[in-house]
Amino acid sequence: MLSIVKRFSLGVLGPAFSSAANLLLSLTILISLSSEVFGNFAFFVILTAFGFSIVNALIGTPLSILINKEHNEQGSLLYFIGGSLLLSVSLSIIIFLSMGKGAVNKEILLYSLASFFMLFRWSARTICHANSLAKNVMLSDFVYSLGIFITALFVYVMERITIDNVLIGMVFSSVLSLSFFGGKYIYWLKSGFYVFEPSKFYSSFKTYGRWSFVGVCSTETTANMHSYIISIFFGAKAFAPIAAAALLYRPVSVVILSLTQMERPILSTLIRANRTEQLASRYRTYKRMIQVSFIINIFAVMMFFGFYPTELLSEKYNYNEFILVSIFISIVVLLRVLRSCVSGLIQASGELKQLSSVFIKSACIAFIFVPILTFYFGVIGSIYGIIVAELSACIFIYRLKTKIFGRDYD
């Protein structure tokens, strides 16, 4: 029991604090700035979260497999350090282009800079988790959370709430937290830049990361196609109510990513050692931890609606519509919770091609239903389409789990 509590604490406390800090910062923006500014910020958060998933796919999954396969931590690791920098730069450029839509100004540059340091910090978390440095990750998360809390309090108390100040605070928090991953990571960081070979990084992508990347992109289509359609075709202001509702469930999404980062290397080791009983036990605990996180998040949302002054939201949003959107978003998040633990287990097994095929199917369903339901029902219809796609993904992925592992892990 104590070991489960310890694992849950290592996997959840850091992300929980950072999620709480980001939630406070986002609520500050929601209350104080226009719905259009908040919509743009929320779109940035979605793009960055997509970047986190790509980092998990191209760094976390291949590195976990290679370390367990080769039993050569240093050889497998160092060329991923330079790769993480290259990946962070590439993704921040994509975010710059997506946010700017052709325009270049101080705000867009700050969005890009914040995304770079947030992505590089996330890649450091991924590398440390793959090497069983969960305590270092938790310490870094606490420092990052503290920086975000200070940013939110500073801009609110000093009445300097601008998106520029918020983004500067996010950059500062990310940079500061990097130094708390520990001396071992700092050594890897220094050594990795000198020995980085793009050809080796590409080789790992070709062998292990390719199908994981395809899976992430199709998963993003399944999960967030509505966000892109609404933001691009209806504008940031129309997306703001959905973003505000989704914001309430952001903590459990971060916890899922973090727990998967921590548990996937261990599950991979148990699979390769053919330790079936331990694997089943570990997987069930991993699944319960995600489910408990969801229940806690739901309780927090209920508390929010019970105590939060409705007039603060009613000034900018239709309160009843906000409640309705929140209910549908909770269904979407529940379906993600149900499929995420299964996805982590299959990733650990290395069956990435089969896993990606699941999300390619669900992405195709999203491509069909999201635009059609958006056309007929408006902005709220886009969420109906995502529910259909997520339900399909759940059905497909549980069938795949049964095919690979049987019914031993239900």
Specify whether the CB–CB gap between 325 and 317 falls below 8 A.
no
Check residue 173 and give its pLDDT.
Answer: 94
Check residue 275 and give its pLDDT.
Answer: 85
- Residue among 247, 261, 326 nearest 15 (CA): 261
Cα 137 to chain centroid distance, Å, stands at 15
Terminus-to-terminus CA distance in the chain, angstroms?
Answer: 21
Q: What is the 3-state composition of the chain as percent helix, strand, coil, each rounded to the nearest 5?
A: 90, 0, 10
Instruction: Name the token pair of 63.
Output: 């590195």
Rounded distance between C-alpha atoms, residue 47 and residue 64, angstroms: 25
Instruction: Name the token pair of 126.
Output: 């991924």
Check residue 160 and give its pLDDT.
Answer: 82
Specify whether the CB–CB gap between 341 and 283 falls below 8 A.
yes
Check residue 76 and give its pLDDT.
Answer: 56
Check residue 356 and give its pLDDT.
Answer: 84
Check residue 77 and give its pLDDT.
Answer: 65
Check residue 19 and give its pLDDT.
Answer: 77
Rounded distance between C-alpha atoms, residue 328 and residue 322, angstroms: 10
| Three-class SS state of 407 | coil
Check residue 337 and give its pLDDT.
Answer: 92
CA distance to 22, 192, 219, 308, 375, per residue, from 317 (Å): 21, 49, 29, 14, 21
Residue 396 CB contacts under 8 Å (≥ 6 apart), including other chains: 358, 361, 362
Taking the CA of residue 322 as centre, how many other CA atoms within 13 Å lie in the half-sphere pointing to its CB?
A: 20
- Residue among 235, 172, 223 nearest 40 (CA): 235
Rounded distance between C-alpha atoms, residue 132 and residue 155, angstroms: 37
Rounded distance between C-alpha atoms, residue 81 and residue 127, angstroms: 8
Helix or strand (DSSP H, E) at 378: none
Rounded distance between C-alpha atoms, residue 331 and residue 339, angstroms: 13
Instruction: Name the token pair of 324.
Output: 């309705």
Residue type, 19: S
Specify whether the CB–CB gap between 169 and 147 falls below 8 A.
yes
Rounded distance between C-alpha atoms, residue 263 and residue 370, angstroms: 33
**Ranges of H-type helices in 61-197:** 61-70, 73-100, 106-130, 134-157, 163-178, 183-195
- Residue among 274, 247, 248, 257 nearest 337 (CA): 257
Rounded distance between C-alpha atoms, residue 66 and residue 243, angstroms: 37
Check residue 311 and give its pLDDT.
Answer: 54
b/e map 186-195, b = 16+ CB within 10 Å = eebbeebeee
Check residue 331 and give its pLDDT.
Answer: 94
CA distance to 246, 253, 308, 382, per residue, from 229 (Å): 16, 21, 30, 8
Q: What is the CA radius of gyration of the chain?
A: 20
Using a cut of 0.85, tell me whether the model's pTM lies above it: no
Per-block mean pLDDT, blocks of 10 residues, the chain (410 long): 55 72 84 82 87 83 69 58 83 85 80 93 85 83 92 86 92 92 80 66 71 80 79 76 82 81 82 84 88 89 72 64 86 92 86 85 90 87 91 92 75
Check residue 179 and give its pLDDT.
Answer: 86
Q: Which residue in the block uniquely carries the two structure tokens 């982590």?
A: 344
